Structure 1
Amino acid sequence: MLISSHSSPNGGIQLSGGGGGRFWWEVVPVAPPSRTALVCTALAGIAVFAALFYTTSRGRLKSPWSRRKRKHALTPRQWKSLFTPDGKLRDGGVKFLKKVRSGGIDPSIRDEVWPFLLGVYDLNSTSEERAIIRTQKRKEYEKLRRQCRQLLKRSNDCSKGTSETSCIEDSGSVAQDSDSSSYEDVVSARESLSSEERSPDVEDSDDPSSALLEGDDGSGQTTNTDASALNTESSDSDSSEDPEVIQASSSSEGREENDPDVPLKDYISPSRTDLHPNQCTGENFATWQRIIRVDAVRANAEWIPYSPTQATVSECRARRAADAVGLKDYDFLEPCGIFHAARLVAILEAYAVYDPEIGYCQGMSDLLSPIIAAITEDHEAFWCFVGFMRKARHNFRLDEMGIRRQLSIVSKIIKCKDSHLYRHLEKLQAEDCFFVYRMVVVLFRRELTFEQTICLWEVMWADQAAIRAGIGKSAWSRMRQRAPPTEDLLLYAIAASVLQKRKLIIEKYSSMDEILRECNSMSGQLDVWKLLDDAHNLVVNLHDKIETPF
């Protein structure tokens, strides 16, 4: 076919074509566009561009993660630049929290940054104030460890044949005996924890949420003891290099990490109902201690690449640490595993004494493990764990009210966002969202990799720190942020993970057991930054509808 074109006398273009079919056509001549038409066309184009830009901009406001997976994490250089000469965070920590919310934290500075996120240090504290707090909190932790050693010694004495009456009397009075002054200090510290949110003054010496840790200050005074400390009730442990760890547990049955077939009821053992909730007796402690040890030696080894120093610990030091807390039956572990288990035991035991209402419950070791991987000093890791448990402790209450409340919120988020999916869940009698029980209890620890878990927790902690500091509460700040800080970011993330599977759930699943298996098989399949993106979009759209009082 042959095509030709030539200008028309009246200004248009005339096309003609021919081929084997001998056909011709021509375009009707068109007059040149007028100036008015050109102006109108240009204005229309500008309007379309503006509309697209506005829509895109609104989309970007929805979440700090829109249109990308992750910004760069907070680097050591950026971290140092955030402080004034006297060691205060600039602008009350607003820029710091914004950075963490958008990209997390470089692993090399987590041990310095986490105490700020977890309320150990106030965001407005100076370096001098933090040094004082660090010293004070180290001493408080050492007192807790002495109590643990007393309880352990009494338990060992009882097991060797001491009369039952004597054991009961001793265990009931352990908190009131020769170290009663330390017990009063611990009680005072626990009471101050509840008032931290009302008065985050770092000078409050009884406030455990504004305590300890920064850099290496005081690192030469660790709280570890060697084996001889077990028989020395009144000795301090300032100069020992071996860490002590504590665990308290509610059930005598262990559980395997990341096992999708573990029954949900195993995550909070009913045996805890037999314990006295408000006092740490020798009997309670012995029960917690037994299960702590089972959980500690079964701890997942994912932490090893993230803690090179602890991963290369010598066998001699690891065994000393285990002896210091009475840990046995660990011969199948590598030295780093023994050391990690010993630290878990020491800190979880101390927490059981510190918070006897909760004591220990299976799942708490999962929450502590990432903390001790990042923080090498036991007393610093302990107070970070206390800050973490300020909210997470409700997951381990005997009445399970904390769990029920959170499941209810997840259900409400799904109902508000996707009525079709919610109706399907109703048909399956699964609208209570019990299938995400495990996600709630251990805060996604089983569904995400070690690094993903930490990334999620850091963003969640940044939200909670912003709320404690009063950042993001005003209407103006909400208009700017669109996704305001929330205490329940975890629950929005859990709902987002379910919504990502909506099509599969609606089209293929006909029972709650099938949905449960799907949720438990998410391990390693989730993109944590996409999950956070979706979670923040849910916060944007639903935070005014989802009431989350505790």
Structure 2
Amino acid sequence: MVDFKGLARLFMKKDGTSELDVVYPIKSECQAEMPKTRFKLRAGKTLSARRWYTAFSQDGHLDIEKVLRRIQRGGVHPAIKGVVWEFLLGCFDPNSTFEDRIQLREQRRHQYRTWKAECQKMVPVIGSGRFITAPIINDDRQMIEDSSSDSNLQDDNGVMATSLVDSSLDHGRHVSNAVSEKKVIQWKLNLHQIGLDVVRTDRALVFYESEANQAKLWDILAVYAWVDNDIGYVQAGMSDICSPMVILLENEADAFWCFEHAMRRLRENFRCSTSSVGVQAQLSALSQIIKVIDPKLHQHLEDLDGGEYLFAFRMLMVLFRREFSFVDSLYLWELMWAMEYNPNIFSLYEEPRDAAENIVAPKLNEKLLNQYGKFERKNVTTGRTDQHSALAVFLVASVLETKNKRLLKEAKGLDDVVKIMSDITGNLDAKKACKKALKIHKKYLSKQVAQTGLVCTTVQ
């Protein structure tokens, strides 16, 4: 039996505030430049280890309504953050039993090991505790001659063993008859970029002083890039999304699946083409929201040639990771995921694509509605299903509304808009921002109903 009370005590001072500097320590030389952490554990509000444990029935069914209510009030205690995230992201069904989840977890770990073994056959450095930071092949699919230089592979001695990189490059052709050579080449071309991003990701945290931890992040991203045929790896923030999962979940396969489920929500943001970036759909949604709720501000931004809202690109791509401290960004994410929670999420994720499209949502009633997060509940009752209007979009809208007066008065060009928006770094309160986002969401939906005559779903 896990000692949840003991875990809780590890992270609590006598005054009830959090020892988060112990949980997620920052390098001493980086502390001055990091955004201030505002999040504190609050008794009676934060989901504690004890509350989490008692939310399960004897056979393992989770009272998700109780859990969501607590998270939306005060976030999740560090002792249980990783396992709670697995439910918030749809890795596990709250209606499953302990035994169901043990079996599913083992199936997923086996699947991850299989995928990782495929990758190791092509590039044996994967799983070695080291990682690549320079190209191993060029665009012509030729082995780079100086691939054994110490800039390619990070290890204890700064030297790469040539045997850890597949010099023939032929293994990749035969992993599967169905795998195209083009896919193998593109994947290998991405590996060094993943390594460069890993070195830059959360580098202020003591956790990533360990090369083994950096290699774990690289392995997960490399395997994900291999199995996601449509998206692969995109430099614009995948490592920022994956990093917390690596820190919170000790088992590498569990961290992979948590990241994989997070990407199911976010992957369209990373879909790129020669003419567009996926996040543009959310930027367009943001533009429409501001146009509806604050036409004066929207017009002002239009006049400044900022109507495409590209200044919000980074906020949406990495979910405010750069605007908040590490601790506060975790708090913000779990608030968002709890507010966006849909009890059908597990079925939609786990069923085959064609079967998932045919899943019929159960008739709404008060009991079922309480299993939705605050944000998603409003969408359901008003019939909204637009995934581009995620809570993150309304969070950006809430920031714009907070800076409304300054933007209207001081912004004479796009550079001014960027400067004013950058001032929020370290100064945002995650819970207040979410509350304001919910108010804007409600206001936007009411105006949409008035304009389009959208009829609310009847609760039966």
Q: Distance in 2 between matches of 1:474 and 1:85?
A: 26
The SS at the match of 2:298 is helix
Deviations 1:395-417 (A, max 9, x none): 11113453111001111221122
Q: Distance in 2 between matches of 1:361 and 1:483?
A: 29
- Other-structure match for 1:105: 76
Aligned partner letter, 2:436: D
Aligned partner letter, 2:74: G
The SS at the match of 1:460 is helix
- Other-structure match for 2:284: 408
Q: Distance in 2 between matches of 1:143 and 1:293?
A: 22
- Other-structure match for 1:94: 65
**Distance verdict in 2 for CA 1:282–1:129, change over 3 Å:** same
**Distance verdict in 2 for CA 1:111–1:279, change over 3 Å:** farther
2:249 is aligned with 1:347: no
Deviations 1:63-97 (A, max 9, x none): xxxxxx9972100110011111001113xx22222
After the TM superposition, which residues 357-372 of structure 1 pair with which residues of structure 2 at under 5 Å, given as runs? 357-362=230-235, 363-372=237-246
Q: Distance in 2 between matches of 1:397 and 1:291?
A: 17
The SS at the match of 1:85 is coil
- Other-structure match for 2:344: 468
**Distance verdict in 2 for CA 1:134–1:341, change over 3 Å:** same
- Other-structure match for 1:82: 55
**Distance verdict in 2 for CA 1:291–1:482, change over 3 Å:** closer
Aligned partner letter, 1:103: G
Match of 1:133 among 104, 107, 119: 104
The answer as to whether partners of 1:279 and 1:357 remain within 8 angstroms in 2 is: no
Unpaired runs of at least 5, structure 2: 1-41, 126-135, 148-166, 346-360, 380-386, 450-460
Q: Distance in 1 between matches of 2:44 and 2:403?
A: 26
CA shift, 1:102, in A, is 2.4
Match of 2:403 among 501, 509, 517: 501
The answer as to whether partners of 1:280 and 1:356 remain within 8 angstroms in 2 is: no
CA shift, 1:168, in A, is 7.0
The answer as to whether partners of 1:410 and 1:433 remain within 8 angstroms in 2 is: yes
CA shift, 1:281, in A, is 2.8
How many percent identity over aligned positions? 31
- Other-structure match for 2:297: 421
The answer as to whether partners of 2:91 and 2:261 remain within 8 angstroms in 1 is: yes
After the TM superposition, which residues 496-535 of structure 1 pair with which residues of structure 2 at under 5 Å, given as runs? 496-535=398-437
CA shift, 1:101, in A, is 2.2
- Other-structure match for 1:4: none
CA shift, 1:504, in A, is 0.7
After the TM superposition, which residues 92-171 of structure 1 pair with which residues of structure 2 at under 5 Å, given as runs? 93-153=64-124, 158-159=143-144, 170-171=171-172
The answer as to whether partners of 1:70 and 1:102 remain within 8 angstroms in 2 is: no
Deviations 1:299-334 (A, max 9, x none): 224544xxxxxx4xxxxxxxxxxxxxxxxxxxxx83
The answer as to whether partners of 1:89 and 1:123 remain within 8 angstroms in 2 is: yes
After the TM superposition, which residues 36-435 of structure 1 pair with which residues of structure 2 at under 5 Å, given as runs? 72-90=45-63, 93-153=64-124, 158-159=143-144, 170-176=171-177, 281-304=183-206, 311=207, 334=209, 336=210, 338-362=211-235, 363-399=237-273, 400=276, 402-435=278-311
**Distance verdict in 2 for CA 1:129–1:491, change over 3 Å:** same
Match of 1:446 among 307, 316, 322: 322
Unpaired runs of at least 5, structure 1: 1-68, 184-277, 305-310, 312-332
Q: Distance in 1 between matches of 2:250 and 2:374?
A: 38
After the TM superposition, which residues 7-26 of structure 1 pair with which residues of structure 2 at under 5 Å, given as runs? none
Aligned partner letter, 1:503: K
Q: Distance in 1 between matches of 2:94 and 2:446?
A: 27
The answer as to whether partners of 2:398 and 2:437 remain within 8 angstroms in 1 is: yes
TM-score by length of 1: 0.57
Q: Distance in 1 between matches of 2:297 and 2:44?
A: 32
Match of 1:540 among 437, 442, 445: 442
Q: Distance in 1 between matches of 2:407 and 2:263?
A: 33
**Distance verdict in 2 for CA 1:167–1:127, change over 3 Å:** same
The answer as to whether partners of 2:342 and 2:376 remain within 8 angstroms in 1 is: no
The answer as to whether partners of 2:122 and 2:169 remain within 8 angstroms in 1 is: no
**Distance verdict in 2 for CA 1:520–1:283, change over 3 Å:** farther
CA shift, 1:284, in A, is 1.0
The answer as to whether partners of 2:121 and 2:171 remain within 8 angstroms in 1 is: no
The SS at the match of 1:380 is helix
Q: Distance in 2 between matches of 1:120 and 1:482?
A: 20
**Distance verdict in 2 for CA 1:170–1:340, change over 3 Å:** closer
CA shift, 1:348, in A, is 0.2
Q: Distance in 2 between matches of 1:436 and 1:107?
A: 29
**Distance verdict in 2 for CA 1:159–1:149, change over 3 Å:** farther
The SS at the match of 2:175 is helix
Query: Greater Rg, structure 1 or structure 2?
Result: 1
- Other-structure match for 2:312: 436
- Other-structure match for 1:55: none
TM-score by length of 2: 0.68
The answer as to whether partners of 2:272 and 2:278 remain within 8 angstroms in 1 is: no
The SS at the match of 1:83 is coil
Q: Distance in 1 between matches of 2:434 and 2:284?
A: 20
Aligned partner letter, 1:83: F
The answer as to whether partners of 1:279 and 1:356 remain within 8 angstroms in 2 is: no
**Distance verdict in 2 for CA 1:510–1:425, change over 3 Å:** same
Aligned partner letter, 1:73: T
Deviations 1:454-499 (A, max 9, x none): 1111122223432535799669949x99754456111111110111
Deviations 1:241-270 (A, max 9, x none): xxxxxxxxxxxxxxxxxxxxxxxxxxxxxx
CA shift, 1:147, in A, is 1.5
Q: Distance in 2 between matches of 1:161 and 1:515?
A: 45
**Distance verdict in 2 for CA 1:511–1:411, change over 3 Å:** same
**Distance verdict in 2 for CA 1:491–1:468, change over 3 Å:** farther
The answer as to whether partners of 1:371 and 1:381 remain within 8 angstroms in 2 is: yes
**Distance verdict in 2 for CA 1:280–1:115, change over 3 Å:** farther
Aligned partner letter, 1:348: L
Aligned partner letter, 2:241: L
CA shift, 1:298, in A, is 1.6
